[in-house]
Structure 1
Amino acid sequence: MSEILVGTCSWTDRALMASGWYPRGRKDAEGRLRHYADNFPVVEVDSTYYALPQSRTCRLWAERTPDGFRFDVKAFSLLTGHPTRQTALPPELRGRPLGPELLDSVWQHFRDALEPLRAADRLGTLLFQFPPWFTPGARAENALKECARRTAGWPVAVEFRHPDWWDERHGSRTTALLSELDLSAVAVDTAQGLPHSMPPTAPVTSPRHAVIRFHGRSEAWGTGSKEDKFRHAYTEAELTQWLPRIRSMAERADEVHVLFNNCCGDAAVRAAERMDRLVGGAAVHR
């Protein structure tokens, strides 16, 4: 039996906290997470992209959420080839040259910090979102193989941000490679018709998880400010378009995580609430 879990890509976004979605008396760190977990069964942690997580924090997240709740954790920027400030590193790692030893230390810190979530059965997947300049080719394939080696035994999902990965020339190879490495392909919903638009491809490349991230359909996606990029309120018609894909994914994966990243005000939580009603919180028999 497969589960379709719907949530958002943050529960601490400033715009969400200012929107009034959190009730009075539940606006502290513990109250926010408990309120969120009362309403949704999964959330993405995006803060771990900007700074390495701490074990104590992950322990608190596990303690403040019920059994069955899932955290999808975004990989630290350095691990996906994004520019990373020295101040984003723990003090003991700052000032060290970028090289194999530093990468080994960062990987070890990342895994160790997340262990409380995994031990408590709260870890959904590790999300590796690669940059737009991460394009198909031997170098990128080797990076994916290294990622799979470093995360052996952990659930991992991969999101590409260059459309060539899913075009007619590369799509089959991409699906085969991720399947071979047991890495889940992340499907995305974004504005279409732009040079950088990602297609709404929804392959299932691992039987453990399938992930869909709804980024909104702003034409400023990939180029504008954060507010411009994510300013989109999904209509019921737009969400309904995805229902056949979601149910098809649920027939091939144990869990489908449907996450809304249009984090502008309360747009993401409202879209997630609507999508949860549309899918009926339904389990799909396989």
Structure 2
Amino acid sequence: MRGGIGLIKIGLTTWSEHDYLLKKPKPTLAEYASKLPVVELDTSFYAIPTQQSVLKWVLETPPNFRFIVKAHQTMTLHKPWQDYFSSQQEAFTTLINSLQPMIKAQRLAAILFQFPPNFVCETQFVRYLRMIRQWMGDLPVAIEFRHDSWFLKQYLPETIALMKQYQFTLVIVDQPKVPHSAPFYPVTTNSAFQLVRLHGRNHDGWLKKGEDWRSYRTLYDYSDRELSELAQVVEEISSFSQDTYVIFNNNAGGDAAKNALSLQNKLQIKYQGLNPEQIQLF
């Protein structure tokens, strides 16, 4: 990277949906890890993986590779824990237990809590954030808010103080500007790492309803100008933490990998220690 003291690692959400990355359909994790040094695991939001699966992922990637794991949907209050577990804490202990191969290999970049829009800045939810730290122990945790109440002038100082007190990384979110959405607010609350998540800026697609909403929500291709602006922000904030992770989640149209490689080029980053690239004979 250019300048700064931290390491910038750019990646994507999941590894198998990015045909552009290796110019082939459904790349494997090992193939993905020959191009990029970090991936965000989305499947853990729906079902906690087995230790065997986690160990397999660790073994398929090089020592410098990192994983960002989404917290289960009961842990982010999208679904009631009673539907899956015997207690609320059991969700946390189950996920932590499943991730032990990743934790022991020092490959876990963060557990990402992406909260729903109804997780607003209220006392009950502040208490829940404190409980998260108690249940997560000293594991790295990133918090993504989807409601602007946490960023309102009267609450923002307390939000930042809370993040710092409990060593939470406040996710820097780029998403469409819709009513009460979280703003793009570059701030470092954890010197160990920070996380930038780029969902695109498709306003109409973000609000789309119906069965095919997933096909439009993150349908966005960042322009060269937008990527240059993002590169400047990422480079500036990277000096405030040891690691800066940038995840492109704008893949409804297959643009995430292309945008990620463009950002890497703009930041003049050449990653070392990736998986060796396989020679395509046919």
Superposition TM-score tier, normalisation by shorter sequence: 0.7 to 0.9
| Contact kept in structure 2, 1:189 and 1:217, CA below 8 Å | yes
Give the 5 Å matches for 1:68-217. 68-83=64-79, 89=84, 93=85, 101-192=86-177, 194-217=178-201
Deviation at 1:265, TM superposition (A): 3.8
Letter in 1 for 2:99: L
Which SS does the other structure have where 1:281 is aligned? Answer: coil
Over the matched positions of the two proteins, sequence identity in percent amounts to: 28
Residues in 1 aligned to 2:20 and 2:238: alpha-carbon distance in whole angstroms: 33
User: Which has more helix, going by share of residues?
Assistant: 1
Partners of 2:140 and 2:269 in 1: how far apart?
Answer: 22
**SS in structure 2 at match of 1:80:** coil
* Match of residue 249, structure 1, among 223, 237, 247: 237
Q: Which runs of 5+ in 2 are unaligned?
A: 272-282
- Alpha carbons of structure 1 residues 233 and 20: separation in structure 2 relative to 1, 3 Å: closer
* Counterpart residue identity of residue 252, structure 1: F
Matched residue SS, 2:203: coil
> Could you tell me how far 1:208 is from its partner in structure 2?
0.8
TM-score by length of 1: 0.86
What is the rounded CA distance, in whole Å, between the counterparts of 1:202 and 1:188 in structure 2? 8
CA deviation profile, 1:252-282 (whole Å, cap 9, x unmatched): 1110000000112421111111111111227
C-alpha contact (below 8 Å) 1:75/1:128 kept by paired residues: yes
Unaligned stretches of 5+ in structure 1?
94-100
2:37 aligned with 1:41:
yes
Matches of 2:240 and 2:22, distance apart in 1: 35
* Root-mean-square deviation over aligned CA pairs: 2.0
Local SS of the residue matching 1:78 = coil
Matched, 1:5 2:9: yes
Paired position in structure 2 for 1:98: none
> Are 1:59 and 2:60 matched, yes or no?
no
SS of the residue corresponding to residue 220 of structure 1 reads helix
What count of residue pairs does the alignment treat as equivalent?
263
The one-letter code matched in structure 2 to 1:148 is: R
Distance in 1, matches of 2:198 and 2:40, equals 12
Distance 1:282 1:39 in 2: 10
Output one character per residue of 1:147-169: Cα deviation in whole Å (capped at 9) or x when no partner: 11111210110000001111212
Whichever residue aligns with residue 65 of structure 2, its letter is F
Normalising by structure 2, we get a TM-score of: 0.87
**2:188 paired with 1:223:** no
Retained in 1: the 8 A contact 2:171–2:195?
Answer: yes
2:224 maps to amino acid: E
**Are 2:221 and 1:233 equivalent residues in the alignment?**
yes
CA deviation after TM superposition for structure 1 residue 21, in Å? 4.7
Residues in 1 aligned to 2:205 and 2:67: alpha-carbon distance in whole angstroms? 25
User: Hey, what's the Cα distance between the residues in 2 that align with 1:251 and 1:85?
Assistant: 39
Shift in Å at residue 245 of structure 1? 2.2
Q: Is contact 2:110–2:139 with CA below 8 Å preserved after alignment?
A: yes
Query: 1:100-130: per-residue Cα shift (whole Å, max 9, x none)?
Result: x422222111000001111112111000011
Contact map agreement 1:68 1:121 (CA 8 A) in 2: no
